[in-house]
Structure 1
Amino acid sequence: MTACMEKAFTKAWGALCGASGGTPTLVIPPGRAFSLKPVKFEGPCKSSSIHIQVAGNIVAPSTVAAWGGCGILFWLCFSNVNGLVLDGSGHIDGRGSQWWNHVMYPFSSFIYALLFNNNSNLKLSGLNVVNSPRSHVSLNDCKGVSISGLKITAPGNSPNTDGIDVSSSSHVSIVDSTIGTGDDCIAIKGGCSNINITGINCGPGHGISIGSIGENGATERVEEVHVRNCNFTGTENGARIKTVPGGSGYVRRITFEQITLNAAGSPIIIDQRYCDGKKKGCPDQPKAVAVSDVTFTGFRGTSSDEQVITLDCAAIGCNNIRMVQVTITSSVAGKRRTAFCSHAHGTAVSTAPPVPCLSGRAFAWKFLTD
């Protein structure tokens, strides 16, 4: 059964947010599908802990026209809320195909399914988020976020359907989730720090990315991002950092470790000349985002591409790039593997294929004792 429930949900949120003491809870009951137009759930709330359990299904409008206009940027938005727990085994279905196939709407007008803006102490777990028009879960200006056990899916050819986008946020943990979409499984944007990503099964999609950083000449900073124990299966990319010429700021103290590859394209990429995804080798500008202190360790598995390591840095260089125990073989019998690097400085040991601009001298002992 489908019920059009925007007013009912807004009223229920008002009661939930206005309740004080304990943990006020709203349950989306199982066995039903609730159709919602875009709704904003606004805080602050009286209680320091708010719980929404999604046992049933929440579905987006059935037509583009029913969304209510082109200016809307989100479907379900939670803003200025502290202590929100959103969990359950239900489905949140953005019905994105109507947008992907609608030639009148450019990608920039597509809607984010779940947007969390200026939230703190946020917990998301167990949900199935599917077929968003654009990004599935977006965190903006959030602090203290725990995400676990999500399943995020969309067709591999769906445009701009990132699994999880994180921007201007800190102290975020994303663990034990399965993400397969048409774009980045997880994308870390400018203004982020202390992001921990562990146990992600990624694919299809474009891997786990930092960037784009420095778009439109912006000054942006990203640091302390740590990606561990993740699997990339049939992805277009693996671990990727992308910065735009003309920007400024930095990307630093980044680790990708214990990564398993299964026919993953371009497993390791640092691209300091990134433009819009369609151009390659964009010219250097007087300014560039600094990239430093990046470690790739414990990569194992196969790639569908010939060039499996790409370190394409601007003239200012990428500094202190470290690789250890990286072994990438071809998923295609007899296909060779290569590495490309330009203006990259650092060290590598036990890396195959070898990276010509990274030295293995005086590295292993120092790295292993850090």
Structure 2
Amino acid sequence: MDISHCFLVLLITTVLLIQDATNVDARYHHHLGKKQKNKNPPNPSPAYAPAPAPASPSPSIPSDPGYDPTPTRPDEPINNSNTSCIFYVTDFGAVGDGSTDDTAAFKSAWKAACQVENGVVLVPSNLVFMITSTIFSGPCQPGLVFQVDGVLMPPDGPDCWPKSDSSKQWLVFYQLDDMTFTGTGTIEGNGQKWWDLPCKPHRGPNGSTLPGPCDSPALIRFFMSSNLVVTGLRIQNSPQFHMKFDGCEGVLIDKLSISSPKLSPNTDGIHIENTKSVGIYNSVIGNGDDCISIGTGCSDVNIEAVTCGPSHGISIGSLGVHNSHACVSNITVRNAIIKDSDNGLRIKTWQGGTGSVSSISFENIQMENVRNCVIIDQYYCLTKACRNQTSAVYLTDVKYRNIKGTYDVRTPPIHFACSDTVACTNITMSEVELLPYEGVLVDDPFCWNAYGVQETLTIPPIDCLQDGLPETLGENSLYNC
């Protein structure tokens, strides 16, 4: 893309905006309810479409880039090149006063940038932009960058949320390839009023119970997209999940800061499902639920140099709900810190599910005042009405190496509760040393139907882990993935 072509695109876009200036309000209200016109429109809509089958061949796991996201001057594109076309949202009518609805301007800037190679949608610093629930969809030309250097936020709570908008999601990036979401700015979720809704009880201060959330939106969602980079941003106070990836392949996440209060409900930091070839690096996450949660359909995930806390730890699951088939494989977590959290390294499945969790490695993890530092829970349930069932998601080849630090003495630091009928197998424990944060040692580690080896003695000793393999695993076809 040469400079003259870029200038021509900008000139044509400016003329069209001037010609249509008298009809901004009508166009905006009409556009919110109108499907984007593509030669091959997405079907079904991204809010409800199933995840696609994985592409072949699969890309490799993105490696840690050691990337410095600081621009050389304010509001300069981070992925700067001589061939970039820059589209400032303010040039398309965005006000940035924190109260004006700037959605139409963002959509126009996106549409223009989508049509050129290496286009940059630039959200400038020192301004606060409010937009409503929006789907930024492709396909677009390669190299597209969405750069937020200012503050970007949704309406303030459910009373301000447009009735016509989805209450399940706010920013959605759909059907994109080779796209970067970056910047030195902040994505502010305005979550407090959503957390206070009287729907789902959650734990409050001093043992109290507080309401919320209800049908609350996830802040950022990437759907059916590939070769994505998310880096440098601060994301905070999400109404529900901060960032979700589903139906994606080839994802690099680096140098993010994600934060919400410890008691904010269902505010997972990063959630992935039906997503493959993922690298999550050099990020700090503190929130009211899982720091990172890995759902069904995920494989080839590498998590490294992440600090979690407060949080509910790094979780695989929950899996197998409503007797579903769940598959997770080849997950590595290393060189991480988990502190002041309700869980550390957790795998959780529902009774009655099928499928498998395999080839999981937790290595070089530092714990600081963590409950349930190492936990497998195959009896996960949100009510007291769940009954034991004969089928379960099969867990095998799970390694814990060099897991050290301190635990909250209210619960044992190691807890392996495997299904009555489908044992956990090939669990490896090596250099696991967990001491009480304060007080004295409490209950010994708990094991139920868990098989594995201790390569070194653990602290506290885990004598309950069984040697070898169980006599039977039941019907093997249930565990194929």
Q: Residue in 1 aligned with 2:465?
A: 358
1:310 and 2:415 equivalent? yes
Are the aligned partners of 1:237 and 1:267 in contact in 2 as well (CA < 8 Å)? yes
Q: Answer yes or no: is 1:31 the counterpart of 2:138.
A: no
Q: Quick one: structure 1 residues 101 and 263, their matched pair in 2 at CA, closer, same or farther if it must change by over 3 Å?
A: same
Structure 2: distance between partners of 1:7 and 1:153: 28
* Higher alpha-carbon Rg: 2
Counterpart contact for 1:150–1:177, Cα < 8 Å: yes
Deviations 1:211-266 (A, max 9, x none): 00101111010000100011011000000000100110001100111000111111
Cα-Cα RMSD: 1.7
Structure with the larger helix share: 2
1:358 deviation in Å?
2.2
* 2:310 paired with 1:215: no
Q: Describe the superposition over 1:169-200 as per-residue Cα deviations: whole angstroms up to 9, x where unpaired.
A: 00000011000000000000000000110011
2: CA distance between counterparts of 1:317 and 1:63?
Answer: 45
Q: Are positions 1:135 and 2:241 aligned together?
A: yes
Say if 1:330 and 1:337, in contact at 8 Å, map to a contact too. no
Q: Residue 183 in 1 paired to residue 281 in 2?
A: no
The reply to whether residue 81 of structure 1 matches residue 186 of structure 2 is no
Query: 1:13 — aligned with what?
Result: 110
Q: Return the offset for 1:108.
A: 5.2
Q: Report the counterpart of residue 61 of structure 2 in structure 1.
A: none
Match of 1:57 in 2: 151
What displacement does 1:89 show? Answer: 1.4
Alignment of 1:163 onto 2:269: yes
Q: 1:283 deviation in Å?
A: 4.2
Runs (4 or more) in structure 1 with deviation over 6 Å come to none
Q: Of residues 350, 355, 372 in structure 2, which corresponds to 1:266?
A: 372
Contact 1:327 1:351 in 2 (8 A): yes
SS at structure 1 position matched to 2:227: strand
Q: 1:103 aligns with which of 198, 202, 208?
A: 198
* Pair 108,319 (structure 1): closer, same or farther in 2 beyond 3 Å: farther
TM-score of the pair, normalised by structure 2 = 0.72
Q: 1 CA distance for matches of 2:130 and 2:156?
A: 8
Alpha-carbon distance between aligned partners in 2 of 1:144 and 1:128, rounded to the nearest angstrom: 22
Q: Contact between 1:267 and 1:309, CA under 8 Å: does it hold in 2?
A: yes
Structure 2 unmatched ranges of 5 or more: 1-96, 201-211, 469-481
CA contact (8 A) 1:78 1:117 kept: yes
Answering whether residue 399 of structure 2 is matched by residue 295 of structure 1, we say: yes
Identity %: 36
TM-score normalized with structure 1 length: 0.93
- Pair 1:4-2:112 in alignment: no
Distance in 2, matches of 1:133 and 1:49, equals 30
Kept after mapping to 1: 8 A contact 2:433/2:460: yes
Q: Partners in 2 of 1:237 and 1:181 — Cα distance?
A: 13
Note the C-alpha offset of 1:311: 0.2
Which runs of 5 or more structure 1 residues have no equivalent in the other structure?
A: 362-370
SS in 2 for 1:83: strand
Cα distance in structure 2, aligned partners of 1:14 and 1:163: 29
- For 2:418, give the aligned amino acid: C
- Structure 2 counterpart SS, 1:250: strand
Within 2, Cα distance between the matches of 1:35 and 1:287?
48
SS of 2:381's equivalent?
coil
The equivalent position to 1:284 in structure 2, one of 356, 375, 388, is: 388
**Cα gap change, 1:13 to 1:207, in 2 (>3 Å):** same
Answer whether contact 2:445 2:464 (CA < 8 A) is retained: no
Question: Does structure 1 conserve the Cα–Cα contact (< 8 Å) formed by 2:267 and 2:290?
Answer: yes
Where 2:435 maps in the other structure, the secondary structure is strand
Aligned to 2:27: none
Distance 2:438 2:467 in 1: 28
Contact 1:125 1:149 in 2 (8 A): yes
User: How far does residue 336 in structure 1 lie from its aligned partner after superposition?
Assistant: 3.0
Q: Which amino acid aligns with 1:60?
A: P
Q: Which residue of 1 aligns with 2:302?
A: 196
Note the C-alpha offset of 1:59: 1.3
Asked if the contact 2:197/2:214 (under 8 Å) is kept, the reply is no
Q: Quote the Cα distance in structure 2 between the aligned partners of 1:292 and 1:210.
A: 13
Determine the C-alpha separation between the residues in 2 that align with 1:66 and 1:201. Answer: 34
1:109-128 alignment to 2 at 5 Å?
Answer: 109-128=215-234
Q: Secondary structure at the match of 1:351?
A: coil
- 1:367 counterpart residue number: none
- Structure 2 equivalent of residue 251 of structure 1: 357
TM superposition shift of 1:66: 2.1
Task: Report the Cα distance in structure 2 between the residues aligned to 1:174 and 1:338, rounded to whole angstroms.
Answer: 33
Correspondence for 2:430: 324
Q: Number of paired residues?
A: 356
Hey, what's the Cα distance between the residues in 2 that align with 1:93 and 1:176? 21
Q: For 1:108 and 1:323, how far apart are their aligned partners in 2? A: 40
CA contact (8 A) 2:194 2:214 kept: no
- Contact map agreement 2:450 2:466 (CA 8 A) in 1: no
